[in-house]
Amino acid sequence: MSDSDLLTKFIAGDRSAFRELFEEHNDAVLQVARYYAGERYEDVAQETWLAVCKGAHRFEGRSSFKTWLLHICANRARSLGYRESKYLSVDLQDPVAADRFDEGGAWRAPPVPFSDLLADNEERSSVLRVVHAAISELRDPTRAVVTLRDVEGLDTREVAEVLQLSEANVRVLLHRGRAYVREAVEKWRGGES
């Protein structure tokens, strides 16, 4: 069932529809709340869901429900006095360690494709744990950007709006965060074989 169908049912008094929306989107709310409020993120997340409970009928469908919800979260955080991450620095780092390349910039040892990891169920659950751990190790704002873009599926513009960053900064942070996660998978793969 789509989010807007669930929302219609929720507004009509269907608790299970609200539960489904909450279960589907609470992780994204927590990420945005953590980005703005750090350790006080639970307060912001709670305020967000309370605002949704009070104002669900105001959703006009001009964006996705998730984007609307995350804008509410960002607005609640700011109205509570929180601002975007203070420690934002967007220096562009090499996505792959320099010593993997020779003086001319060519690979010393070529990387091995990962795509087979998408097929094997047993290996897949292991690699998903590695990916989850690597994303958790990222610091905000990189963690928030990678989570909203790659885990939650917002587009770059939506991520930039919700986190109050430029799209260029979002792309730099994505570059950095994805490189870290890719490297974690590569190390795990090297260790398991």
Residues that bind other proteins (CB under 8 A): 15, 18-19, 22-23, 26-27, 30-31, 49-50, 53-54, 92, 94-96, 98, 101, 104-107, 110-115, 117-118, 124, 127-128, 131-132, 135-136, 146-147, 150-151, 153, 156, 167-168, 171, 174-175, 178-179, 181-182, 185-186
Nearer to other proteins, 36 or 49 (CB): 49
Rounded to the nearest whole angstrom, what is the least distance from the CB of residue 176 to other proteins in the complex? Answer: 9
Rounded to the nearest whole angstrom, what is the least distance from the CB of residue 151 to other proteins in the complex? Answer: 5
Nearer to other proteins, 74 or 144 (CB): 144
User: Could you give the angle at which helices 15-37 and 65-79 cross, rounded to 10 degrees?
Assistant: 50
Rounded to the nearest whole angstrom, what is the least distance from the CB of residue 97 to other proteins in the complex? Answer: 10
CB 171 within 8 A of CB 115: no
Nearer to other proteins, 61 or 107 (CB): 107
CB 21 within 8 A of CB 14: no
The tokens describing 22, both together, are 């909450």
